Amino acid sequence: MDGVIALYKERGMTSHECVSSLRKILHTKKVGHTGTLDPNVDGVLPICIGQATKISELMMQSGKVYQGEITLGMAYDTEDLDGTLIAQQPIESPLTSSQIDDVLAKLTGDIMQVPPMYSAVKVNGHKLYEYARKGLTIDRDPRPIHIDYFKQLKPATYDPEKQTQTIYFEVGCSKGTYVRTLAVDFGKLINVPSVMTNLTRIKSGGFDISQCVTLKEVQTAVDSDNLETIFRPLAEALASYPQYKLDESRWEIVSHGGFLDQSINPDHDPVVCLTYMGAVKALYKFDLELTKYRPYKMFIA
């Protein structure tokens, strides 16, 4: 049982709870996710099973795409609606669409982001949320992230009664990006309190939300002995890497963990995917000093 399940994580569940549920449904311990989603966020959570757990860290490196909402006029300590309201300011003159676009543009490209206090980032051996729950605020070093794009999905809406404005967005971002912090930073750029009020991850690990299945659908597939219908093979999960089909002699070398000469990939791509008889057997990484490809991730049962 080796492959990836593109799971749709429902709201109210932690990523760990999803992994725990799948271990019980699939009757295997070799299950791992590819990057957590907050309990109040739904969407794509690729889950690696069996030997595919060896590529979970690689899938984490992939970019993510989210759709959500930013509401201007209020702020929460958790940067989303799960926390405590800490600031309010009426929005008397709502931003125009072009003004919103200008602010979003300032939050694209290579930027530095300070991780939120309510996060699992560790400082001095403790997670930031552990400090936050004690009412402490710790100095955090900003970290580099990359925002591919940050755009409006539809016109913003204004609530004249609450005097708040809600912006509907889509963002493509690198690993390690806190989208709720982007929402807060949007407000800081225009000197108003802001909060992320809705978020769905629509793409992660090369899978989009249209490919996802629910935990209930996984259980149904197991009960009907139809698991292959929801399993994504290693080859699909690694499709972005250059592929090389091994012949008999090179398979013999790879099966014993040997090095391969650069002729398998004259372009010297950093990592190549090696297959034998239609099955993925290994990822090999190019070693600049040796000018050879060496084992990186092995999938030989």
Q: What is the per-residue pLDDT across 215-243, written as a single tens digit (0 to 9) for each?
A: 999 999 999 998 888 988 888 888 889 99
pLDDT of 239 reads 85
Pick 206 or 195 by higher pLDDT.
195
Distance between CA atoms of residues 35 and 47, nearest Å: 9
Instruction: Report in angstroms the alpha-carbon separations of 123 from 136, 139, 150, 249, 277.
Output: 12, 9, 29, 50, 48
pLDDT per residue over 31-71, tens digit each? Answer: 988 878 889 999 999 999 988 888 888 888 888 999 999 99
pLDDT level of residue 126 (50, 70, 90 thresholds) = confident
Domain boundaries, the chain: 3-62+205-236, 64-201, 241-298
* Domain 241-298 grouped into CATH 3.40.50.720: no
Mean pLDDT of the region 97-126: 92
CA atoms within 13 A on the CB side of 217: 14
22-59: b (≥16 Cβ within 10 Å) or e: beebbeeeebbbbbbbbeebbbbbbbbbbbbbbbbebb
Q: Which band of pLDDT confidence, cut at 50, 70 and 90, is reported for residue 293? A: very high
Collect all residues with Cβ–Cβ distance below 8 Å to 224 and sequence separation of at least 6: none
Mean pLDDT across the stretch 121-142? 86
Residues 6+ apart with CB under 8 A from 77: 83, 84, 86, 117, 118, 132
**pLDDT tens string 241-262:** 999 999 999 999 999 999 999 8
Q: What is the mean pLDDT of residues 110-135?
A: 87
Q: Which of 32-36, 128-132, 163-167, 181-185 shows the lowest mean pLDDT across its residues?
A: 32-36
Q: What is the pLDDT of residue 213?
A: 96
Q: Is the pLDDT of residue 164 over 90?
A: yes
For residues 14-32, give the mean pLDDT: 92
CA dihedral of 286, 289, 294, 295, whole degrees rounded to 10 = -90
**How far apart are the C-alpha atoms of 3 and 31, rounded to whole Å?**
10
Taking residue 260's Cβ as centre, other Cβ atoms within 10 Å add up to: 21
Tell me the average pLDDT of the chain.
92
pLDDT score, position 301: 65
What pLDDT, on the 0 to 100 scale, is given for residue 270?
92
Mean pLDDT of 207-219: 95
For domain 3-62+205-236, the CATH superfamily is Pseudouridine synthase (3.30.2350.10)
Quick one: average pLDDT of 155-168? 97
3-state helix, strand, coil in the chain (%, to 5): 25, 40, 35
> Alpha-carbon distance 107 to 104, whole Å?
5
Whether 64-201 and 3-62+205-236 are alike in CATH topology: the answer is yes
Mean pLDDT over 182-202 rounds to 97
User: May I ask the CATH architecture of the domain 64-201?
Assistant: 2-Layer Sandwich (3.30)
Residue 38 falls in the annotated catalytic set: yes
Catalytic residue among 2, 38, 80, 185: 38
pLDDT at 1 over 80: no
- Distance of CA 252 to CAs 245, 247, 264, 281, 290, Å? 13, 9, 15, 12, 20
Residue 109 CA neighbour count, 13 Å, CB half: 3
